[in-house]
Chains A and B, each alone.
Chain A
Amino acid sequence: MTITDAPKIITRRFDTPDSHTITRYEETGGYQALRTALGSMSPAQVAAQVKDASLLGRGGAGFPAGVKWGFCPPGVWPRYLVVNGDESEPGTYKDRLLMERDPHQLIEGVLLASYAIGAAQAFIYIRGEMALAQERVAKALNEAYAKGYIGKNILGSDYSIDVVMAWGAGAYIVGEETALIESLEGNRGMPRLKPPFFPAAKGLYMQPTVVNNVETLSNIPWIVSNGGETFAELGAEGSKGTRIFAVSGHVKNPGVFEVEYGVTTFRDIIYAPVYGGGIRSDRALKCFIPGGASAPWFYEEHLDLPLEKATVDKAGSMLGSGAIVVMDDTTDAVAACLSVVKFFSHESCGKCTPCREGTNWLEKILRRILDGYGRPSDLDLLMDVADNISPGIAWPPKQTTICPLGPSAVSPLASALGRFRPEFEAHIARAARAEAASAPAQAVGLPGGVA
C-alpha cells in the first residue's frame, strides 16, 4: 500500500472545531494569500502560480484551471466567476463538506481567482438541498464583507468585487456549467449548446465567464501561499497536488479522503484501513465506479491503477468527480445498471430528444427485464437505443445530445451488459419460463399496451 505522507491541503481544517468561522480561519493562516496577492502580486502573477500548479478542475472534466482562465477573450468586460457548488453526482459529497467545514477557504479562493481573471462579480451557486452549506457560506460571506475581504477596495487595494450566493432548485443538470448559468440568469436549468456558448467567451449574461468547481477553487489559497511549483511537486506527472475522493457503496468505511493525486491506487483507497477499509463483510469485489455515476465501471483488474487522470482515461473510464462507488458480489448487475440509468433518466432536463426520450426508454426496458418481462431481442434493442444517444458507444463518448448527461446513462449500461451479459440473459430466461408456464393463449405479458 502506498499511503503517502503528502500534506492535507484543502481538508486540513476539517477536524478543527468551528473551522467554518472567520476567527478560526484567520487564526489558521486564512486570508494571508489574499493579503499577499493584493499587496504584492499582479493578477497575471496569481494566474501564473495556478498555471504552474497544473491544477486540474475537480468538477468532472479535469481541465487545467490556469489554462481555462486564459480563455477569456482579452478586452471583453465585465467578466464573471461562477463557482459550481451544485454537487449532485451520486456518490460525490466532497464539495458539500468543503463548503460546510471551510467556507472561508472557498471564499478566499474565489477572491484570488476573481482577482486573477479580473472578474467584476462572483457567484457561488450551491445545490438546493444543501441547507447547511448555504447557511455556512452565507454567514461566511457576511463575515468576509464585514472584515473588508469582499467589497470595495479590498484590504486597501484598488480591487473591488462583490460575491453573491445563489442556490438551485433540485436539478442535477444545473451542475453542468451552461445549465448552471441559465439557472443563475433565472431561466430553466437547461444546458446551452457548445458551440457556440462556451462560457469563457459567452457565459453569464453572454459575458466571459469562468466556471470552476468548489474543490478546484479551494486549492487556490494554498497554491498562492506556497507557490504553484510546491503544489506541483506533489502528485504524479499529469495529476498534481492532492485530491479528495469520496468512497461509498459496499465498503466498511465510506467517507471522503484527501490523498496525493496520481500516486494512490484504487486498491489503496478501497482497502486501506485509513480509507475505505475494504469490502463489507470481507466479500468479493464485483465492480466499482471509479469517478461518478457517468463513468464506465472498473473491475478487479483495475484495482492497482493509480488515481491518475491520464491512466484512468486510457483504461477506458474517468476519475470524473472523484466518486468511487464499490459493489460487492451480491450486487445484481441489472439492478445496479437500472439504478444508475434511472438516475439519469430522472435528471434529464428534457431539452433534447435523445436524452429525454432515450434514457427513459432505456430505463423502461431495464425495468421490464428486471421485472421478468424481458425479451431476448431487448438486449440488442438496449444497445441500439444507447447507440442513438451515444453513437458507437465508445469512450470517450460521442453524443447526439446537447450535453453529456444523455451519454452518461449509456456508460453503466455498456459496462453492465458488456461484463455481465449472462445476468441479463438469466432475467430474460426467467421471463420466457414464466411465459411458457402461463396459459398459451395469452399474449406476451407486457405491462401496458403495445405500440
Chain B
Amino acid sequence: MTDTAATPDAEVEPEVVPGVPVTIDGREIIADEGELIIDAAERHGIYIPRFCYHPRMTPVGMCRMCICEVDTGRGPALQPTCMLECTPGMVVETASPVTTKAQEGVLELLLINHPLDCRVCAKGGESPPLDQTVANGPGESRFVEEKRHKAKPIPISDIVLLDRERCILCDRCTRFAKEVAGDPLIHFINRGNDTEVNTFPDDPFASYFSGNTVQICPVGALTSATYRFRARPWDLEAVESTCQTCAVGCRMAIESSRNEVLRYQGVDIDPVNWGWLCDKGRFNFEALGSEHRLREPLIKQGDAHRQARWAEALGEAAAALQAALDAGGPERIGVIGGARLTNEAAYAWAKLAKGVLGTDNVDCRLGDSLPAEAVLGLPQATIDDACRPGGTVLYLGPDPKEALPVLYLRLRHALVHDGIGLVEVTPVRTSLSDHAAVVLQHRPGEVHTAVRALLHGIPQGQDAGGVDPDALDAARARVAAAAEAGTLTVVVGTQSVAESPQWVTDAAAALAEAYPQVRFLPLVRRGNERGALEMGLAPGLLPGRTTLADGAAWYRTTWPTVPGAAGLDTAGILTAAAAGQIDTLVLLGADPLTDFPDRDLATRGLDGARRIIALDIFLNPSVLQADVVLPVAAFGEVEGSTTNLEGRISLLNQKVTPPGTARSDWEIAAELARRLGSDLQVASTDDLWNEAVAMAPSLDGITLELLLSPDASDGVVAPLPAEATPVPDEPADDAADAPVAATEPDEDADADSDEDAEADGDSEPTGPSTPPMVAFSAAQPLDPPALDAYALRLVATRKLYDLGTLTQASPSLAGLTPGTVLRVNPYDFDRLGVVEGQTLRVKSPRGGVEVEIVTDATVLRGTAAVHTNQPDVAVNRLIDATQPVTDIRIETGGAA
C-alpha cells in the first residue's frame, strides 16, 4: 500500500465484492472471494495444522494434516482445508471429535517412520510435527515395527543436506524447486512407502535458491551445511532487517546466538521477496564472522600494514584529506564507493565529501551502472507494477537471475503463473528468455538501435542492431498495445560491463520519449546503490534526487559548503588519479581492482593516487594499497535504513556488535569532519535520517515515525505520492526544517556550527525552497558503434557467484564460482578455425587474457560472451572503460 502513484486499474471496479460468509467452529466469519478455508480460518485466529500447505505455492493437499469436517450442504465430510475455497454457507469444524480423530491419525501416521530424535535435530523447537505432537500427541507409540532406514544425511548440493528418514514427503522442497525456482532438480523417486526425495545421479540440486527449501522444510530433513547443528532455535535471537547484498532488498531475519550471526531467514513481504532469499544473500552471513574481518585500523608502513589506534588512523586520514585540500583544493579528492552503506551513512558521507570537503568527485558506482539521472529521473515503477497480472514487461537488462536473483523469482512467477508477457531486448539470452513472448537479441552496443526499430520500424536499408526483423514485428504490436493500455513496464539496466551504459540509456530515452506515460524499473545491482544515489553519492547530485545546479542554494543553508561544479564519476576519478590529479582517494567499501570493469585503469588510478584511505570490512586487493585502513561495522552490526532498486526504504537492524574496534561508516565521517575543523552536527543515525528527511526533496514526509509504523512494515517507496503526505506529521514540515537562509555560503559554513541540524530552525519565507527532483532528459540519439568485421564484440556479464568480497569470505559460497569460458557462435568458430575447448589468447586494444573457448549457438554471430569477475581469468584486463564497446580478437596462431 506504500507503492508509488495511482495504479492504472485503480478505478475499474465499481461493484463491491461482499465476501463469503462461512461458519468456522460456530463462528460466522467473512472470507475473501476465493480464499482457502485454511487461510480464512487463520486470518480469524483459528489455526489449522498443516505440513504441505505453503501460502506462496500451489496447494497440493498431500499431507492430509489440515483435514476438517466441512459441510457444503450435503452433510459434513472430511476435506483438506488447504484445497477448498470458502463458499457461502459452508460450515467448517476444526475441532470436532471427527476432525480431531482424523488429524491425530494423520499425525501418528506421519510420525511412525519419523526418527523422533528431536533433541538432536536441527529443526527441534521450530518443527510443526514436534509442536503438534507436544500439543496433542498420544505420548507413546503404537508402532512396534521397524522404522524405515535410509543412509543418513546425503548432500544434495554443495550447501544442502537431506536426511530422508526425517522427511515427511510434504512436497514443499520439490514444489519450490519446480514451481518457484524453476530448477526441478529434486524429485520424488520410488513409490508408496519407499517414496523419497532425491536428486538424479550426478545432477545435484545446484540452485541459486536452494536455501529456501531448508527454510520451508517443516521437519529437519533438509539442513544447510552452514547452520546444521550449530544452534537450536530456542538459543537464537532474531531481528528483522533487509538484505543488502543486492538491490532487490529482500526482507530477512538475522538470527544470532551469543553475538554470532548463525543464519538469515527470509521474511515474507508482499511487494518484494515473498519470503524467499537467494543463496548468496542467505549464506554470506558467514563472511560476518570470518576470521579475516578487519578488526583494527591499519596504517601502511613500507609494503605492509601495521595496526594502529583509531586516533592515529583518523588523524592520518584527516591529514591526508587536508593535505589534498591544501595542495589543490577539493578537486584533488575523490571518493569511490558507498553502495554498501546505510542510507544514513551515505548521507553522512555525502555531507562530509560535498558539504565539508567540497569535492564533487564522488561516485558510489563502479563504472557499470545506469546514469544517476536515469535511475532517479525516469518515471518509476515498482516490482509489483512490473509483475502485475496481465501486463507486459519490456526487458532491457542483465540476466536477473545472476544479478538480482529474487527479482528473477518475482518476474518468473509473473511469467509462468500470472500470464504477463515479456519482450526481451538483450545481447545474450537470459534466464527469462525461455518464458519470453519475443526475444530480440541484438549486437552489443546496439540496444538503442534495436529499441528505436522496435518503436519506429527499421530505417530503409539498415539493420536493427542484428535483430531478426520478424521478431521485431511480433514485438512491436505487443509493446505498442501494452503501452496504449497502460500495462507496459520497462525494466532497464546495464547489459554488459564491456560496453558503456550510454547505449541502454539512449534506448530508455527513446522509450521515455515515445511513451511518456510508461513507467520504468531501473535496475541497480549493488546493495544500497539506490540509497547512495538518493543521498547524492554521485557527481552532480545532492541528497534527495536533486542536482547540484538546482539544490546548491538549498543545501548551503545547512551544509558548510557545496561543490561549485559537477565532478567526476569513478572512471573519471581513476583517470584523474592516474594522471596525478588526485591527491587523496577514499574507498568506501569499494574494490575497484576487482570490481571496476577496466582493470588497467583501476590499477593506474590506484597507483596514481597519492594517498588512499579505505573503509572496509576485508583487506581486499584495493584495500591492500591503502595508506590508512579503517575497519567498519558490516550489515547486521549497524542500524539505519536501506533503499532497494525500487526506491523502497526499509529499516536495517543491528543484531551483533562489530568485531574488534570496527566503527560504523557514519561515525568515521563525523570524526573526520571534526578533525577537519567542521562538524556534521549529528550524534546518531536518527539525527542523520531526520536531517536527510528535512533536506532531501525525495524523502519528504518519510519520517522515522512513518518508517517505524506498522503501515511501513513493507518499507516505504520514495517519494511519497504527492497528495498523501503521511499521517502523524506537523503540517509545514520541510519548510519549517529549513534553517535560516544564507546569502553568503562561505560564512554559512561557520554559522552552521550551532545546532540547526536538529532541524528546529524557524521558517523564513525568503529562503531558498526545496529544489526540484531530477528529471531524465534524453540526450542526442547515438550512432551505433562502428563494426569491425574481423573482431568479435564482447558481452561481459556477471555470475551470481564471483570475486565479490562477501562471497569470497563465505566458505560455503566461495567455491561456487563457475569460472570463465568465452562463448562464440559456431559460425565464427569455424570462420576463425578454433577448436572446441581450446584455450587461446584473446586480445583487445586494452590487453589480453588466455581463456577457454567453446561454441554456443545462442550467442549472435560476431559476438563473444564471457562471464567477468571470476577467479580464473581477469576479463577486466580486456575492457577499456573509456571506450563505448569492447572488440576482441582470438589469436588462433594462423591468420584470422
**A-to-B contact residues, CB < 8 Å:** 171, 188, 193, 195-196, 345-354, 356-361, 364-365, 368, 381, 385, 387-388, 391, 398-402, 446-451
Identify the closest chain B residue to A388 (Cβ): B105
Give the bracket for the number of chain B residues in contact with chain A.
35 or more
Of B58-66, B564-572, B643-651, B870-878, the one touching chain A = B58-66
A338 to B50, CA, bound (A): 32
CB pair B112–A451 under 8 Å, yes or no, is yes
Q: How far is the CB of A182 from chain B (nearest CB, A)?
A: 12
| 0 or 1 for each of B758-799: is its CB under 8 Å from A? (1 = yes) | 000000000000000000000000000000000000000000
A193 to B79, CA, bound (A): 10
- Which B residues lie within 8 Å of A391 (CB)? 78, 98, 101-102
CB pair A357–B144 under 8 Å, yes or no, is no
CB pair A388–B106 under 8 Å, yes or no, is yes
| 0 or 1 for each of B77-121: is its CB under 8 Å from A? (1 = yes) | 110100110000000000000100110011011101100100000
CB pair B77–A398 under 8 Å, yes or no, is yes
CB pair B193–A356 under 8 Å, yes or no, is yes
Identify the closest chain A residue to B116 (Cβ): A451
Given contacts A196-B83, A391-B102, contact A354 B193 (CB under 8 A): no
Given contacts A354-B64, A400-B67, contact A345 B193 (CB under 8 A): yes
**B-to-A contact residues, CB < 8 Å:** 60-65, 67, 77-78, 80, 83-84, 98, 101-102, 105-106, 108-110, 112-113, 116, 141-147, 168-169, 187-188, 190-195
CB pair B142–A381 under 8 Å, yes or no, is yes
CB pair B64–A361 under 8 Å, yes or no, is no
CB pair A351–B143 under 8 Å, yes or no, is no
A402 to B60, CA, bound (A): 10
- Which B residues lie within 8 Å of A385 (CB)? 105, 109
- Which B residues lie within 8 Å of A356 (CB)? 169, 192-193, 195
A301 to B190, CA, bound (A): 42
CB pair A361–B109 under 8 Å, yes or no, is yes
Identify the closest chain A residue to B196 (Cβ): A350
CB pair B192–A360 under 8 Å, yes or no, is yes
Interface SS of chain B? loop
A359 to B61, CA, bound (A): 19
Pick the residue among A195, A360, A400 that contacts B193 (CB under 8 A): A360
- Which A residues lie within 8 Å of B106 (CB)? 353-354, 388, 400
CB pair B145–A350 under 8 Å, yes or no, is no
Q: How far is the CB of B179 from chain A (nearest CB, A)?
A: 13
Identify the closest chain B residue to A360 (Cβ): B193
Q: List 22 A-B contacts (CB under 8 A).
A: A171-B191, A195-B84, A345-B192, A350-B193, A353-B65, A353-B106, A354-B64, A354-B105, A356-B169, A356-B193, A356-B195, A360-B192, A360-B193, A361-B143, A365-B145, A385-B109, A388-B106, A400-B105, A446-B145, A447-B146, A448-B146, A449-B146
- Which A residues lie within 8 Å of B193 (CB)? 345, 348, 350, 356-357, 359-360
Identify the closest chain A residue to B168 (Cβ): A353
Identify the closest chain B residue to A170 (Cβ): B191
A151 to B83, CA, bound (A): 40
- Which A residues lie within 8 Å of B78 (CB)? 391, 398-400
Pick the residue among B98, B147, B169, B188 that contacts A188 (CB under 8 A): B188
- Which B residues lie within 8 Å of A353 (CB)? 62-65, 106, 109-110, 168-169
CB pair A402–B62 under 8 Å, yes or no, is yes
Q: How far is the CB of A174 from chain B (nearest CB, A)?
A: 11
A387 to B78, CA, bound (A): 13
A351 to B168, CA, bound (A): 11
Pick the residue among A350, A400, A446 that contacts B195 (CB under 8 A): A350
Identify the closest chain B residue to A377 (Cβ): B142
CB pair B192–A349 under 8 Å, yes or no, is yes
Pick the residue among A354, A388, A446, A451 that contacts B147 (CB under 8 A): A451
- Which B residues lie within 8 Å of A347 (CB)? 191-192
CB pair B112–A357 under 8 Å, yes or no, is yes
Q: How far is the CB of A359 from chain B (nearest CB, A)?
A: 8
CB pair A350–B191 under 8 Å, yes or no, is yes
A82 to B61, CA, bound (A): 25
Q: How far is the CB of B323 from chain A (nearest CB, A)?
A: 70
A349 to B192, CA, bound (A): 5
Pick the residue among B64, B101, B142, B192 that contacts A350 (CB under 8 A): B192
- Which B residues lie within 8 Å of A381 (CB)? 142
Pick the residue among A354, A446, A450 that contacts B109 (CB under 8 A): A354
CB pair A351–B62 under 8 Å, yes or no, is yes
CB pair B64–A451 under 8 Å, yes or no, is no
Q: How far is the CB of A271 from chain B (nearest CB, A)?
A: 38
- Can you add 14 more A-B contacts, CB < 8 Å, to A348-B192, A387-B101? A193-B83, A196-B83, A348-B191, A350-B194, A352-B64, A354-B105, A356-B192, A356-B195, A361-B143, A365-B145, A385-B105, A400-B64, A402-B64, A448-B146
- Which B residues lie within 8 Å of A360 (CB)? 192-193
CB pair B169–A350 under 8 Å, yes or no, is yes
8 A-B pairs with least C-beta separation: A448-B146, A388-B105, A350-B195, A348-B192, A357-B109, A360-B193, A451-B141, A364-B145
A272 to B479, CA, bound (A): 76
Identify the closest chain A residue to B113 (Cβ): A357
